[in-house]
Structure 1
Amino acid sequence: MVKACCVMDPEAARTARESLDLAFHMSNILDTGLDRHTLSVLVALCDLGLNPEALAAVVKELQREAPPSTPFSSSSSQVP
């Protein structure tokens, strides 16, 4: 049995995927170094009401402290 809260309307799923694709494209243009998964988590946190500017500050701090092989590196920005 599938719970109703976990089922997404196909049209809503398509719209969400297109929105994430657009956000990821903009992220790449801006050379943020964020991979698609990290970006989707950040968008979800914003949707839950977290302050986007505070999240951006945290991401910048993590990128500054992170070694090059972490998920924030631009080499992992492409998801298969």
Structure 2
Amino acid sequence: MDVSMDVSMDVSMDVSMDVSMDVSVDVSMDVSVDVSVDVSVDVSVDVSVDVSVDVFCPKYEKELFKYIIKASKLKK
């Protein structure tokens, strides 16, 4: 009895893994600031001058006081 077994097993595994990541971030900021200042100044000046001159003369005031007393006595 001649048994001949030829077992030939060829296992070939070719694993090729190509990972390519291209990350491109483009950030563009356009900052535009428009400053407009409107200054409106309304100046209105009202000048009001009240001049009152009180002349104080003690001599005449005493005489006036006498006349006021006399007049009040006459009314009574």
Alignment TM-score, normalising by the size of structure 2: 0.25
More relative contact order, 1 or 2 (CA 8 Å, 6+ apart):
1
Structure with bigger helix share is: 1
Alignment TM-score, normalising by the size of structure 1: 0.24
Max Rg structure: 2
